[in-house]
C-alpha cells in the first residue's frame, strides 16, 4: 500500500496533471475528458496563470473564463454520440462527450471556432463561438452519418472501441452482417478469455472450452484475425485457434463477420472473428486487478500430481523436462547405431519422474495491470499502452469413458482422474504516433502463453488389459508472439486518397517436452507392470512462423467509394516428435512389481530394461504455406437509402508439406503434399435503410475452407484428454462454400438492437472427422456436399420501454435454429453408418439469455447469463460404428460488479450454477461424462 501511495503522490506532483485535474473539476462533468497542449501552445498560458499549484482554493471555477457546453447527437436519429471529439481550433484543447453526448470546455473570453468529429460521421465546424467571462455558451451539434464510411476510423480521435455504444454504432454502419461483444460488456461478465466471451455472440458456441463454433461451423470453417491478420493454430490435432490464448482484459472488442466482403479473408464458412486489442487512453490510466477463484469439484480436494519444476508457477519449464544432452542429435538412439551400454547411459540421463503424490489443490489466483497515456512528442500526439497478466488455476476432471464396438461389445470401460495445473501469462504493448492531422502509425505486440501441466490416472478395463492402472504425465505449453506495424494516411492532393498498410510477424510455439505413460495391471493385491504399454516417453515440438504485409487504397468520390488492396503471407512450420521406450522384455517378475518411482532406476536400466528410440518416419514434417491475395470492390450509395458493396477477391494458396523424421527407426509409407489452388471469390452486400435506425441487409458470397497443415500431415497424434488417436489425410481437398444471408435489424437506442436473420449455405466437399477404427481413432475426410439453413433472433434492449420504473434493467436474448444435411461421396456411402446426418459440429439450436441491472447511483452492475446448445455431432462413425454426439448442456452464470470507493471496484462471479454434467453418446451408449462443477470468483480492481 505504501508503494501505491508513493506512486500516487509522484503522479500528483506533475504540474501538467494538476492542470488536468483543475480544469476537469472546474468543468463540472465527471464523464467528459479533455486533452491539453504542451507549454507554449495557444491556450495553455491562460490555464497556467489561473492555477496556484499550492493553493487548494485554486480549484474553484475561474470567473475570468467562460464555458462552452452542449450535446453532440446523430443528425439522423437524434441519439447522443459517445466519445465524440470537440476540438478548439487554434489550440490543442479537445473535449470528449460523455454517455449523454454532453461536453463542456472552459475558455478565455474571445471568439472561437470548434471542430467536431465522430467515427463514421461527417466532421463539422462551428464558427464564431463567442465566449464571455462567467457566461455559458450552449452549442449543440448534430453530425450526419457518413454514407461513404465502411469501417474506416477518423485518425485524429478514434472512438473507444471497448464501449458497447461504439460497437453498436460500428455494427449499424458496417456493410456486412456482424455481431460483436465489447470490452465493456466483457468486463461485466465472469469471462476471463475470448473463449468465454464467445459464448455470448449470436449463433456462436464453444467446444472444449476454447474452440469457437459459429452457425454450427467449427475448426477450419472459421478464421481468427488479430488486427485483420490471420492467427495460426498451435494445436497438433485440431484445425482451430484456441481462444483461451487471448485474455479478455486485453481486448477492446470481439466482432464476428458472418458475411464476406472482398477486403476480408475468404477462408471461412461460419464467420470471421475479428479481435481488437485495447487502445491507448486519451488521459493517464493506471489499473490493477487481483482475483481469487475456485470451483466445487477441484478446489481444496486431494488429487494426484506429478513431479514439478522450479519455474512451473511462471509458466516455463526449468529445463528438467527437456531431452538429455547425451541424446544424439544427428540420428536416432537405435540398436543399429548405438550399443547397449551407450543406450543405457542415455536412458539413465532421463529424469526418473514416473510417480505421483496426492496433494491438496489450492485456490486459483490471478493478477493483471495496465498503464497508458497520451503525451506529446515534437508537438504531435503519442499514445502508449502496456499491460500484463498472470494467472494460475487448477482443474480436476473425473470422467467415465466407454468405447463401444460394432457388435455391441465394449473395448474400453475406464475412469479417468486428471489434475491439470494451468498457468496463463500475457502481455500487450501498443504505441501510436500522430504524424499529422491525417497520418498515423502504430505498433502493437502481443504475447500470450498458456501451460497445462496434466497428471492423469486411468483405471478400468481396455481391449488389451483388464484391471488397468495407468499414469500419464504431460506438460503442454502453447505460446503466441504477434507483432504488427501499421499506418493510416490521407492524401489530400489525390482527392482524399486513403492509404492503409500493415506488416506483421508472428510466432506460434507448442512444446510438449516430456509426455510419459506407465501402465500396471492389478493382480490380487499386487500391481505388475504391463510390458507392452509402459515406459514410453514422447517429446513433441511445433514452431510456426508467419510474416506478412498488406496494402489497402480507398478513394472517396462522394457516393462512390472504390477500394483495392493486396495481401501476402508466408508461414513456415517445423513439427518434430521423438518417441522413446524402456523395453521390458527381459525384466523379471520381481522388477515388474516395483513402484513407479523405483522401477526405472539406474540399477534396472540396461539390465531389466533396454532403452531405445522408436520414432516413426511419419512423426515429423516441415511445411510451408503461402497466400497471395488481391481484391477490388466498390461501395455505392448513389441510390440512397440503398447501399451496395460488391467486388471480388482473388486468392492463390500454395501448400508444401514434406514428411519425414531424421530420427526414424520405424519406416512407414507416407506421402507429402505440394499443391497450388487459385480462386476468384465474388461477393455482394446490400444494405437498405428503411429508416434512421432500421436496416434490411442481404448478402451473397463465395468462400473457401482450406485444410490445415496438421490435417494434411499423415502423422498420428494421441490426445490424452479425448483418449483417441488423430491421423492426418494428405488427400484432403479444400471446400467451396456458397453463402446467402438476409437480416432485418432495428436499433432503438445507442446500445440496443432487435434483429432477425435467415441464412443458407452449400458446401462442396465439406471436411469432417471420421471414426475409422474400434479404438476411436479419427481422421479428416471430404464428404460430397453439405447444406446448412438457419434462423437467428436477437434482442438487446432496455426495459425502460415498458416502464420508467425498469429503466435500470435490460435484457439480452438470442436464439439460433439450424438444420444441416450431408451428402456422401458414392465411394463412401457404403462405409458410413448413417446415410443421412447433420454436418460435423452442428447443433440444431443454441440460446443465450441475459438479464442486466445497472444503477449509476449505487455503482452496481448485476448480470445473470444463461446459455444452452442442442446435441452436436462430435465424430462421424463408419463401418457400423455409430456417430458420437455431445449432449445438450445448460449453463447459468452470475456476475456482480460494485463500485466501493473512488477508483475501486469489487467483482463477484459464479459460473455453471446448474452444475450439469458434460455427456457424450455413441448410439445408445454413454461414452463419456464428467461434471465441471460450480465456480466462484472474487476480484478487486483499482483504477487511477
Confidence bin at 27 (pLDDT 50/70/90): very low
- Single out the residue of 869, 905, 909, 903 nearest to residue 887, CA to CA: 869
Contacts of 144 (CB under 8 A, 6+ apart): 75, 76, 121, 122
pLDDT computed for residue 111 by the predictor:
84
What pLDDT sits at residue 837? 81
| Cα-Cα-Cα-Cα dihedral sign, residues 850, 169, 649, 699 | positive
- Candidates 125, 122, 47; CA nearest to 86 is 125
Cite the beta strand spans of 318-379 per DSSP E. Answer: 357-360, 364-377
In the numeric block, the cell 475456485 is attached to 294
Residue 477 CA to its chain's centroid (Å):
17
Residue 151's pLDDT band (boundaries 50, 70, 90)?
Answer: very low
Highest mean pLDDT out of 498-507, 528-537, 898-907: 498-507
- When pLDDT is cut at 50, 70 and 90, the band that residue 511 belongs to is very high
759 or 251: which leads in pLDDT: 759
In the block, cell 539413465 appears at 348
Residue 478: predicted pLDDT: 92
CA distance 649 to 792: 27
pLDDT at 778: 76
pLDDT at 99 over 80: no
CB distance 541 to 515 below 8 Å: no
Q: 213-217, 246-250, 473-477, 900-904: which has the highest mean pLDDT?
A: 473-477
Instruction: Output the nine-digit C-alpha cell for 58.
Output: 485554486
The answer to whether residues 416 and 457 touch, using CB atoms and an 8 Å cutoff, is yes
Q: For the domain with range 2-146, which CATH number is right: 3.40.309.10, 2.60.40.1120, 3.90.330.10, 1.10.10.10?
A: 2.60.40.1120
**How do residues 335-366 score in pLDDT, each as one tens digit?**
999 999 999 999 999 999 999 999 999 999 99
- Going by pLDDT thresholds of 50, 70 and 90, the confidence category of residue 59 is very low
Cell (9 digits) for 77: 436519429
pLDDT bin (cut points 50, 70, 90) of residue 187 is: confident
Q: Give the angle 788-792-798 at the CA atoms, nearest 5°.
A: 170
pLDDT at residue 5, as a whole number = 42
Residues in contact with 5: Cβ distance below 8 Å, sequence separation at least 6, in sequence order: none
pLDDT, position 740: 96
Tell me: pLDDT of 773 over 70.
no
- Per-residue HEC secondary structure of 670-718 comes to CCCEEEEEEEEEEEEEEEEEEECCEEEEEEEEEEEECCCHHHHCCCEEE
8 Å CB contact between 180 and 256: yes
Q: What percentage of the chain exceeds 70 in pLDDT?
A: 88
Residue 171 has pLDDT above 90, yes or no: no
- pLDDT surpassing 60 at residue 58: no
Band of residue 325 on the pLDDT scale cut at 50, 70, 90:
very high
pLDDT reading at 927 higher than 70: yes
**DSSP-assigned beta bridge partners for residue 267:** 704
Report the pLDDT value the prediction gives residue 146, as an integer from 0 to 100: 66
Residue 314 CB partners (closer than 8 Å, separation 6+): 390, 423, 425
Indicate if the pLDDT at residue 653 is higher than 90.
Answer: yes
Q: CATH 2.60.40.1120 in the chain, residues?
A: 2-146
DSSP secondary structure letter of residue 437: T
Q: What are phi and psi of 800, to 5 degrees?
A: -65, -15
Cα 739 to Cα 733: distance, rounded to the nearest angstrom = 19
Q: Can you give the pLDDT at residue 193? A: 75
Q: What is the pLDDT of residue 721?
A: 60
Percent of the chain with pLDDT over 90: 45
Among 60-74, 202-216, 472-486, 511-525, top mean pLDDT goes to: 472-486
Q: What is the pLDDT of residues 266-322, one digit of tens each?
A: 988 888 888 887 777 777 889 899 999 999 999 999 999 999 999 999 999 999 999
Which of 88-92, 193-197, 912-916 has the largest mean confidence? 912-916
Instruction: Report the pLDDT value the prediction gives residue 210, as an integer from 0 to 100.
Output: 76
Fold of 314-663+679-943: Maltoporin; Chain A (2.40.170)
Per-residue model confidence (pLDDT) at position 201: 78
The model's pLDDT over 432-442, given as tens digits with 9 standing for 90+, comes to: 998 887 789 99
- Which residues belong to CATH 2.40.170.20 in the chain? 314-663+679-943
The rounded mean pLDDT for the chain is 83
- Measured in Å, how far apart are the chain's first and last C-alpha atoms? 14
- Give per-residue pLDDT as tens, 395-438: 999 999 888 877 777 878 899 999 999 999 989 898 999 888 77
- Give SS3 for 804: helix
Query: What is the mean pLDDT of the segment spanning 662-688?
Result: 91
Amino acid at each position: 500500500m505504501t508503494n501505491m501511495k508513493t506512486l500516487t503522490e509522484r503522479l500528483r506532483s506533475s504540474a501538467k496533471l494538476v492542470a488536468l485535474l483543475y480544469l476537469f473539476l472546474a468543468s463540472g462533468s465527471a464523464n467528459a475528458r479533455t486533452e491539453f497542449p504542451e507549454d507554449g501552445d495557444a491556450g495553455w498560458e491562460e490555464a497556467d496563470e489561473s492555477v496556484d499549484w499550492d493553493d487548494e482554493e485554486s480549484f474553484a471555477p475561474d470567473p475570468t473564463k467562460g464555458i462552452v457546453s452542449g450535446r453532440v447527437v446523430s443528425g439522423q436519429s437524434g441519439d447522443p454520440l459517445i466519445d465524440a471529439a470537440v476540438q478548439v481550433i487554434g489550440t490543442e484543447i479537445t473535449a470528449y462527450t460523455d454517455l449523454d453526448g454532453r461536453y463542456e470546455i472552459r475558455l478565455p473570453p474571445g471568439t472561437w471556432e470548434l471542430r467536431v468529429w465522430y467515427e463514421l460521421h461527417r466532421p463539422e465546424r462551428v464558427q464564431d463561438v463567442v465566449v464571455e467571462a462567467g457566461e455559458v455558451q450552449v452549442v449543440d451539434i448534430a453530425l450526419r452519418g457518413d454514407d461513404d464510411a465502411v469501417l474506416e476510423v477518423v485518425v485524429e480521435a478514434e472512438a473507444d472501441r471497448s464501449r458497447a455504444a461504439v460497437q453498436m454504432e460500428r455494427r449499424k454502419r458496417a456493410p456486412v452482417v456482424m455481431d460483436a461483444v465489447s470490452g465493456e460488456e466483457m468486463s461485466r461478465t465472469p469471462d476471463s478469455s475470448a473463449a468465454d466471451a464467445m459464448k455470448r455472440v449470436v449463433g456462436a458456441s464453444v467446444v472444449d472450452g476454447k474452440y469457437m463454433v459459429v452457425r454450427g461451423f467449427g475448426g477450419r470453417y472459421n478464421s481468427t484475425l488479430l488486427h485483420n491478420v490471420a492467427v495460426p493454430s498451435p494445436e497438433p490435432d485440431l484445425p482451430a485457434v484456441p481462444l483461451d490464448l487471448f485474455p479478455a482484459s486485453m481486448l477492446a472488442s470481439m466482432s464476428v463477420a458472418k458475411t464476406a466482403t472482398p477486403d476480408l479473408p475468404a477462408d471461412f464458412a461460419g464467420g470471421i472473428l475479428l479481435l481488437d486489442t485495447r487502445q491507448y487512453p486519451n488521459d493517464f490510466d493506471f489499473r490493477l486487478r487481483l482475483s481469487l477463484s475456485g470451483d466445487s469439484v477441484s478446489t481444496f480436494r486431494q488429487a494426484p500430481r506429478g513431479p514439478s519444476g522450479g519455474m512451473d508457477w511462471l509458466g516455463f519449464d526449468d529445463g528438467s523436462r527437456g531431452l538429455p544432452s547425451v541424446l544424439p542429435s544427428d540420428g536416432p538412439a537405435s540398436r543399429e547405431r548405438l550399443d547397449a551400454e551407450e543406450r543405457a547411459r542415455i536412458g539413465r540421463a532421463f529424469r526418473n519422474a514416473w510417480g505421483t503424490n496426492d496433494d491438496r489443490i489450492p485456490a486459483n489466483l490471478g493478477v493483471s495491470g495496465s498503464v497508458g497515456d497520451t503525451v506529446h512528442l515534437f508537438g504531435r500526439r503519442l499514445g502508449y499502452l502496456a499491460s500484463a497478466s498472470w494467472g494460475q488455476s487448477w482443474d480436476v476432471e473425473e470422467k467415465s469413458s466407454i468405447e463401444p464396438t460394432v457388435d455391441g461389445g465394449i473395448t474400453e470401460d475406464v475412469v479417468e482422474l486428471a489434475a491439470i495445473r494451468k498457468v496463463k501469462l500475457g502481455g500487450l504493448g501498443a504505441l501510436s504516433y500522430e504524424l499529422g492531422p491525417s497520418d498515423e502509425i502504430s505498433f502493437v505486440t502481443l504475447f500470450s502463453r498458456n501451460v497445462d501441466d496434466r497428471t492423469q490416472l486411468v483405471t478400468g478395463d481396455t481391449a488389451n488389459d483388464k484391471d488397468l492402472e495407468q499414469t500419464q504425465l504431460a506438460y503442454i505449453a502453447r505460446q503466441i508472439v504477434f507483432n504488427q506495424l501499421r499506418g493510416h494516411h490521407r492524401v489530400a492532393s489525390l482527392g482524399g486518397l486513403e492509404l492503409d498498410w500493415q506488416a506483421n510477424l508472428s510466432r506460434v510455439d507448442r512444446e510438449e517436452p516430456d509426455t510419459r505413460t506407465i501402465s500396471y495391471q492389478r493382480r490380487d493385491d499386487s500391481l505388475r507392470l504391463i510390458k507392452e504399454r509402459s515406459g514410453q516417453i514422447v517429446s513433441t515440438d511445433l514452431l510456426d512462423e508467419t510474416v506478412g504485409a498488406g496494402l489497402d487504397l480507398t478513394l472517396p468520390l462522394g457516393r462512390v467509394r472504390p477500394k483495392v488492396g493486396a495481401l501476402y503471407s508466408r508461414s513456415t512450420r517445423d513439427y518434430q516428435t521423438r518417441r522413446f521406450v524402456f523395453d521390458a522384455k527381459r525384466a523379471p517378475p520381481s522388477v515388474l512389481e516395483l513402484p513407479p518411482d523405483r522401477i526405472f532406476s539406474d540399477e534396472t536400466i540396461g539390465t531389466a530394461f533396454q532403452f531405445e528410440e522408436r520414432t516413426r518416419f511419419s512423426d515429423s514434417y516441415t511445411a510451408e504455406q503461402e497466400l497471395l491475395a488481391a481484391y477490388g470492390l466498390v461501395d455505392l450509395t448513389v441510390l440512397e437509402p440503398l447501399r451496395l458493396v460488391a467486388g471480388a477477391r482473388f486468392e492463390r494458396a500454395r501448400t508444401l508439406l514434406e514428411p519425414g523424421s531424421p530420427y526414424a527407426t520405424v519406416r512407414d509409407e507416407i506421402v507429402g503434399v505440394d499443391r497450388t489452388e487459385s480462386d476468384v471469390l465474388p461477393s455482394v452486400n446490400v444494405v437498405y435503410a428503411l429508416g434512421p435506425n432500421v436496416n434490411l441487409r442481404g448478402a451473397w458470397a463465395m468462400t473457401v475452407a482450406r485444410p490445415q497443415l496438421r490435417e494434411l500431415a499423415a502423422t498420428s497424434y494421441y490426445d490424452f484428454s479425448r483418449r483417441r488417436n488423430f491421423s492426418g489425410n494428405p488427400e484432403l481437398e479444400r471446400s467451396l462454400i456458397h453463402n446467402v444471408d438476409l437480416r432485418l435489424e432495428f436499433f432503438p437506442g445507442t446500445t440496443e438492437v432487435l434483429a432477425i436473420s435467415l441464412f443458407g449455405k452449400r458446401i462442396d466437399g465439406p471436411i469432417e472427422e471420421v471414426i475409422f477404427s474400434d479404438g476411436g481413432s479419427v481422421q479428416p475426410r471430404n464428404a460430397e456436399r453439405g447444406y446448412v439453413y438457419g434462423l437467428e433472433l436477437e434482442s438487446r434492449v432496455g426495459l425502460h420501454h415498458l416502464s420508467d420504473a425498469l429503466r435500470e434493467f435490460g435484457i439480452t436474448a438470442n436464439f439460433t435454429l439450424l438444420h444441416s444435411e450431408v451428402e456422401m461421396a458414392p465411394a463412401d456411402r457404403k462405409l458410413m453408418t448413417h446415410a443421412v446426418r447433420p454436418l460435423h459440429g452442428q447443433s440444431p439450436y443454441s440460446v443465450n439469455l441475459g438479464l442486466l441491472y445497472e444503477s449509476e447511483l449505487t455503482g452496481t452492475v448485476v448480470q445473470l447469463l444463461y446459455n444452452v446448445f442442442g446435441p452436436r455431432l462430435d465424430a462421424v462413425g463408419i463401418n457400423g460404428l455409430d456417430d458420437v454426439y455431445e449432449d445438450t448442456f445448460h449453463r447459468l452464470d452470475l456476475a456482480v460488479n460494485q463500485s466501493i470507493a473512488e477508483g475501486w471496484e469489487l467483482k463477484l462471479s459464479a459460473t455453471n450454477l446448474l452444475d450439469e454434467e458434460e455427456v457424450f453418446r455413441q448410439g445408445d451408449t454413454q461414452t463419456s461424462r464428467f461434471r465441471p462443477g460450480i465456480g466462484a470468483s472474487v476480484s478487486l480492481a483499482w483504477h487511477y
